[in-house]
Amino acid sequence: MTSGIEPRDHRDRYAVIGNPVAHSKSPWIHARFAEQTGEAIEYGRVLGTIGAFSGDVRAFVEAGGRGMNVTVPFKLDAHAFATTLTPRAAAAGALNTLAFNADGVLGDNTDGVGLVRDIEQNLGVGLKGARVLLLGAGGAARGVVLPMLDGGVAALTIVNRTASKAQQLVDHFSDAAHAAHVRFSGGGADSVEAGPYDVIVNATAGSLDDALPDCDDASFGPGTLAYDMMYSAQPTVFMRHADSLGARSADGLGMLVEQAAESFFLWRGVRPDSGAVLRALRLELSTKV
């Protein structure tokens, strides 16, 4: 005999954890991925407690959580929490994705592959043989170096206001660069090579404060893609500066969608149509200007 009550559909639980986290577009993005693919998931936000990341994650897992995206300021905490790392996560030293399974906690960093896919697939700029200038040497920069080296760039220059931090990244990835036959250098503003670069990536947080990173105007040309890893409804100060110098500019919204698609694939084994979701998200943001 049955009660006549339909059981609630089982949906695997995922979430993004950060502080702050209310602004995150990840729930919107993953809801679109789920609709596309028919995957039965629910995806929410977790406001992480500073100094108590492990406890917050364990509580989520105990409540049935299957995976999490990790945003500021917990990417280093996530690296320490994971029991197994993908090669790109180990190289980056920071995580943005956790997957919980019977074997433990798998940590991944999908930021770099998200950047590369956005540049190559959505923006149509090939990285193979390109000269790339990476502005900044913090966690955002660290997460994208290896995927760019793997993407077949000819040269990668890292420039940071504190030159020693750029040199530390060069030292850390020198073996990978050597194996990929990439001309690899870094330091302060004087490390910039002569002539326009093919791609310039702003991995600093300057656009949040409407501040330009240290960059040489001669590095921008009509064939340059100037890519800001930040995004907003309006062009960032870095994008406006690049436009004024005749370069093509782009924001990091596509990177956000592409890194989310890689996380979704890691969790579900299904690759969503990220391009369709990116177009819908851009339209969604444009209506709120």
Beta-sheet pairing, 12-18 with 155-159: unpaired
Average pLDDT of span 254-268: 98
Whether the pLDDT of residue 5 is over 70: the answer is no
Whether the pLDDT of residue 288 is over 80: the answer is no
- Distance, CA of 113 to CA of 91 (rounded, Å): 13
Query: Which domains are assigned to the chain?
Result: 12-109+254-286 (3.40.50.10860), 112-251 (3.40.50.720)
pLDDT for 7 equals 45
In contact, 212 and 184? CB cutoff 8 Å: no
- Residues contributing to the annotated binding site for shikimate: 24-26, 71, 96, 111, 231, 259
Q: Is 52 exposed, middle or buried (0-12, 13-18, 19+ CB in 10 A)?
A: exposed
pLDDT for 113 equals 96
- If one counts every other C-beta atom within 10 angstroms of the C-beta of residue 282, the result is 16
pLDDT tier, 289 (very low <50, low <70, confident <90, very high otherwise)? low
Whether the pLDDT of residue 105 is over 90: the answer is yes
**Catalytic-residue membership of 75:** yes
Per DSSP, the residues of 139-191 read: HHHHHHHHHHHHTT-SEEEEE-SSHHHHHHHHHHTHHHHHHTT-EEEEESGGG
164: region left, alpha or beta (phi > 0 left; psi from -120 to 50 alpha): alpha
User: Which stretch of 73-77, 103-107, 268-272 has the lowest confidence by average pLDDT?
Assistant: 73-77
Whether the pLDDT of residue 1 is over 50: the answer is no
- Residues contributing to the annotated binding site: 24-26, 71, 96, 111, 136-140, 160-165, 229, 231, 252, 259
Helix (H, G, I), strand (E, B), or coil: what is residue 222?
Answer: coil
- Residues contributing to the annotated binding site for NADP(+): 136-140, 160-165, 229, 252
User: Which stretch of 34-43, 68-77, 105-114, 123-132 has the lowest confidence by average pLDDT?
Assistant: 68-77
Give the N- to C-terminal CA distance of the chain in Å, as an integer: 56
Percentage above 90 pLDDT, the chain? 85
Q: What are phi and psi of 67, to 5 degrees?
A: -170, 160
pLDDT tier, 232 (very low <50, low <70, confident <90, very high otherwise)? confident
Q: Report yes or no on whether pTM surpasses 0.85.
A: yes
pLDDT for 4 equals 44
Whether the pLDDT of residue 3 is over 50: the answer is no
pLDDT tier, 267 (very low <50, low <70, confident <90, very high otherwise)? very high
Interval 196-214: pLDDT, tens: 999 999 999 888 888 899 8
Cis peptide before 20 (omega within 30 of 0): yes
DSSP category for residue 287: T
pLDDT for 233 equals 83
Average pLDDT of span 137-153: 92
Whether the pLDDT of residue 6 is over 80: the answer is no
pLDDT for 9 equals 62
Catalytic entry in 30, 32, 45, 75:
75
Whether the pLDDT of residue 60 is over 90: the answer is yes
Whether the pLDDT of residue 104 is over 70: the answer is yes
Give the chain's mean pLDDT: 93
Q: Helical H runs in 52-173?
A: 53-62, 75-81, 87-92, 111-117, 139-150, 163-172
pLDDT for 72 equals 87
Interval 146-181: pLDDT, tens: 999 999 999 999 999 999 999 999 999 999 999 999
